[in-house]
Amino acid sequence: MTLNLKSFGSLLGSVLVTLLGLAIVTFMIGRVMPVDPVIAAVGDNAPEAVVRQARAEMGLDDPILQQFWQYLVQVLHGDFGRSVLTHNQVASDIAHYFPATMELATVALFLAAVIGVPLGIWAAVRQGSVTDQVIRVVCLAGHSVPVFVLALIGLLVFYVGLDLVPGPGRQGIIFEGMVPTVTGFLTVDSLMAGDMGAFRDAVHHMLLPVCILSYFSMAYITRMTRAFMLGALKGEYIVAARAKGLSSWTVVMGHAFPNVAVQLITVLVLTYAGLLEGAVVTETVFAWPGLGQYLTTSLMNGDMNPVMGTTLLIGCVYVGLNLLADLLYRVFDPRVT
C-alpha cells in the first residue's frame, strides 16, 4: 500500500509540474508573439491615452512575475479573458466549440480502432504474406501523407468530382439553429430532438472529415497492433499453446491478444489525444466549427486570449489523457506499480 501511495504521489507531482510548465509556456506565448494585445483590443487608430489606459487595465505595465501570478490565478478560476473577435468570455467560446471537435475525434477514433486493431492482428498472423504487405503499404501511406493533403484530395474527389458528400461545414443551411443544443454533439442532439433529417444531414457532413481522420489514426493503430502482436506471437507461452493442439484462433485471440491489450489501451488513449490536438488542420480545410478553427481564426486576427486559452486546454487534455492511459495501464496490468 505504501508503494502504491508513493507511486500515486509521484504521478500526481509529475502532473502538477507538467501543468505548471504548460501554464508558463502558454503565458510566454502571449508575451513573445509579435502581436500587441492592447492594439488588438482597442484598434490601430486608438489615441495614445486610450492605449496607455488599456495597457494599465490589462496589467501589462506590471512586472512580469506579477503578470504571471495574475494569469495563473485567473486560469485557476476558469477565467481565460475575453475574445476581441466574439466579445464573449473565452471559456464560454471554448464550451461552445469544443464539443464539435470532440464529436469529430470520438467518431474517428471509434472507426480507426474497429478497423485498425483487426487489421493489425491479421497482418501479424499473416506476416510476410501478400496480405501483410498490402496492409503495411496502406498504413504507411496513411501515416506518411499529411492530413491536410488527404483532406484536400478528399474534397476534390468526393465533393467536387463525384458529388457524394456535401461541402464544408457541420450542417446544411436549412438545419442551422433547428436543433436545440444539449450535449453539443450535433448527431446526439438531433436524435434527442427526434429530427431525423437533421441527424442524416449531420452524419452526411461528418462523413468525409471523419474518414480522413480515422484513416490517419487507423494507420498508426494498425502498425502498433501488428508490432505488439508479432512480439506476443514469439513468446514461449504461444509455442506451448500450439503444442497443446489449440486452434489458431484460440492461440491468437485467447493467449496472444490479451497480452497486448493493455498496450493497445495506451495507444488508443494517446491517439484520441492526438486527434483532439491535431484536428486544427482538418477543421480548417472542412470549415468545421470546432476548437481548431476557433484557434486558427483567433491566431490569424491577433486575438491572443483565445489562443492562450485553447492552447492551455489542449495541453491539459493531453496531460489528462496521458494520466488516464497510465492509470489504465496500472489497473489492467498488476505487474505495474
Cβ(313)–Cβ(320) under 8 Å?
A: no
How does pLDDT run across 143-187, given as a tens digit for each residue?
Answer: 888 888 888 888 899 888 888 888 788 888 888 878 888 888 989
As a whole number of angstroms, the distance between CA 43 and CA 167 comes to 35
Nearest to 229, CA basis, from 104, 125, 87: 125
Share of the chain above pLDDT 90, in %: 19
How does pLDDT run across 90-115, given as a tens digit for each residue?
Answer: 999 999 899 999 999 999 999 999 99
What structural domains does the chain harbor?
A: 2-76 (no CATH), 90-167+211-332 (1.10.3720.10)
pLDDT given for residue 7 in this prediction: 66
Confidence bin at 334 (pLDDT 50/70/90): low
End-to-end CA distance of the chain: 10
As a whole number of angstroms, the distance between CA 219 and CA 108 comes to 12
Cβ(291)–Cβ(94) under 8 Å?
A: yes
192 to each of 88, 183, 269, how far by Cα in Å? 28, 10, 28
Confidence bin at 5 (pLDDT 50/70/90): low
Average pLDDT over the chain reads 83
Does 82 have pLDDT greater than 90? no
pLDDT given for residue 1 in this prediction: 41
Which residue is it, cell 483567433?
298
- Residue 186 is classified by DSSP as H
The total of other beta-carbon atoms located within 10 Å of residue 63's CB is: 9
Confidence bin at 41 (pLDDT 50/70/90): low
How does pLDDT run across 314-329, given as a tens digit for each residue?
Answer: 888 888 888 887 777 7
Cβ(216)–Cβ(110) under 8 Å?
A: no
Burial class (CB in 10 A: 0-12, 13-18, 19+), 4: exposed
Share of the chain above pLDDT 70, in %: 89
Confidence bin at 223 (pLDDT 50/70/90): very high
pLDDT given for residue 235 in this prediction: 79
Cβ(105)–Cβ(273) under 8 Å?
A: no
Give every CB contact of residue 125 below 8 A, 6+ residues apart in sequence: 229, 233, 248, 252
pTM above 0.95, yes or no: no
As a whole number of angstroms, the distance between CA 295 and CA 280 comes to 8
Does 218 have pLDDT greater than 90? yes
pLDDT given for residue 120 in this prediction: 93
pLDDT given for residue 307 in this prediction: 85
Cβ(207)–Cβ(325) under 8 Å?
A: no
Q: DSSP 3-state assignment of 282? A: helix
As a whole number of angstroms, the distance between CA 106 and CA 95 comes to 17
Confidence bin at 255 (pLDDT 50/70/90): confident
Top-confidence residue, 124 or 27: 124
How does pLDDT run across 261-314, given as a tens digit for each residue?
Answer: 888 888 898 888 888 876 777 888 888 888 888 888 888 877 888 888 888 888
Q: DSSP 3-state assignment of 172? A: coil
pLDDT given for residue 44 in this prediction: 67
Nearest to 169, CA basis, from 316, 4, 285, 256: 285
As a whole number of angstroms, the distance between CA 140 and CA 127 comes to 16
pLDDT given for residue 17 in this prediction: 84
